[in-house]
Amino acid sequence: MRRLVACILLLMLLVSCAKCETLRYGMRGNEVSQLQQALIDQGYLNGKADGIFGSKTENAVRDFQAKNGLKTDGLAGKKTQAALYGSPAQNTGKSYFSGDYSTIEPSSDKARIRLLQKALIKMNYLKDSADGVYGTLTRNAVRSFQREQKIREDGTAGALTLETVEKVLASGHRLHTALDDAEPLSSTDGKTAAPSKSSIELLHWYNDVKPLLNGQSRLVVYEPGSGLSWNLRVYSKGRHCDAEPLTLKDTQIMLKAFGNKNTWAQKGVYVMLPDGRWTIGSTHTAPHLSGHISNNGFDGHLCVHFFRDMDECTAKDPNYGVKNQKTIRALWKKVSGETVE
C-alpha cells in the first residue's frame, strides 16, 4: 500500500513538472524556494532557501545535473525538476545515495560529502554543519557509526558503510547519547565571576604548566566572551594538553560557550591550574579519538593549548598549533596590553 501511495504521489509530481516553468538565474519566488530546499535536502546546496536564484543555486543545479546525467546548463527545467523532486533519496528515504555506493573520502565531490554529513547529523553522530569537507570531525563521526554498527572501523565511508547508513536512516534510528537525557542548563549554570586581570599570567607550557599536570589533574576553564566556566580533567600531555569535560554538565556548559556545536574553531580562554594560578590557553569542542570518562556526553577528548615559543611551535606544529598560539597571544594582549612575538 505504501509503495502504491508513493508511486501515485511521484506520478502526480512528474505530471505537474510537465507544466513547470524553467527556473533560472535571477528569478525569485516560492518555486525557487522549493527548488533550493530540495537541493539543500540532497546535499547540493548549503544555507537557507531564500527564494532567490543566485550563483550558488545555479552552481548547485549544475552539480545535481552532472551527478544525474542531465545537461549541465544550470537551468532547472522540466527534466531537472522531475529528477530532483522525484529522487528516491528525497521521497522514499530508502535510496539515500541514489544507488551510488562508491567510497566517499576527502577527495570526493563536496555534494556527496555533504549528503553523508547530513545523514550523520540526522543520526546524531555528527554535531557540526554539513560543510562538504571530509575532515577529522566527519571521519570520527564515520568511525563512531561503524563502531556502533560493528563495521570495520576505518573512518572511510565505503559501500558497506553507505548501505548501512541507508538502512539505519530508513529505520529512524539515531545514536542516543548522555546529552539526550541531560537536564537543561539553568540560566545561572556555569556563570562565574571572571578572574581579575592582575591575577592572570602568561605561563609557558613546557616550563611552567606541563610539570604541574598528571592524569588526574583538574583544570578550570573560563571563556570571557560568554562568562561561562567549566571543568576539564587532564587526559594526556604532549606538545599540548589533552583533556575531557569532567561531568555531563561541564560538557553542556562548554558547548553552550561555543554556540552549542562541536568545532575545531578555537577560543582564547583563561585556565586555572592545579596550583591555583590563572593563565592563558586556547581550546575547542571537537571530540576526537578516545577518552576515559564514559558518562560525560563527550565522545573522545579535546586539546588545550598553552603558551609556547613561536619558533618551536612553527617547526613542530605549523598549522593548528600556530593558530592556537596566535589566539593565545591575542587574548594576552587584551589582558595585559603586551604584544608577544
* Candidate from 147-151, 218-222, 250-254 with smallest mean pLDDT: 147-151
3-state SS assignment for residue 263: coil
Neighbour tally for 81: CB within 10 Å: 24
Residue 1: what pLDDT? Answer: 52
Specify the amino acid at residue 204. H
Residue reference for cell 574553531: 265
Q: Is the separation of the CB atoms in 300 and 291 below 8 Å?
A: yes
Q: CA 213, CA 210: separation in Å to the nearest integer? A: 6
H helix runs in the chain, sequence order: 2-17, 30-41, 55-67, 78-85, 88-91, 110-122, 136-149, 159-171, 178-181, 248-257, 310-316, 320-336
Residue 16: what pLDDT? Answer: 45
Q: CA 298, CA 286: separation in Å to the nearest integer? A: 9
* pLDDT tens digits for range 8-54: 444 444 444 444 589 999 999 888 888 888 888 777 888 888 989 99
Specify the amino acid at residue 211. P
Residue 316: what pLDDT? Answer: 96
Distances from the Cα of 339 to the Cα of 15, 202, 319, 330, angstroms: 67, 12, 21, 8
pLDDT category at 224 given cuts 50, 70, 90 is very high
DSSP assignment, residue 183?
P
134-162: average pLDDT: 92
Instruction: Identify which has the larger pLDDT, 138 or 13.
Output: 138
157 forms beta bridges with: 104
* Candidate from 258-262, 278-282, 304-308 with smallest mean pLDDT: 258-262
Q: Say if pTM beats, i.e. exceeds, 0.75.
A: no
Q: CA 162, CA 103: separation in Å to the nearest integer? A: 8
* pLDDT tens digits for range 105-114: 999 999 999 9
Q: CA 314, CA 257: separation in Å to the nearest integer? A: 29
Q: CA 173, CA 188: separation in Å to the nearest integer? A: 34
Q: CA 231, CA 52: separation in Å to the nearest integer? A: 45
Residue 88: what pLDDT? Answer: 38
Instruction: Identify which has the larger pLDDT, 296 or 299.
Output: 296
Residue 92: what pLDDT? Answer: 38
Specify the amino acid at residue 264. W
Query: Phi first, then psi: what are they for 242, rounded to 5°?
Result: -90, 135
Which positions ≥6 away from 276 have C-beta within 8 Å? none
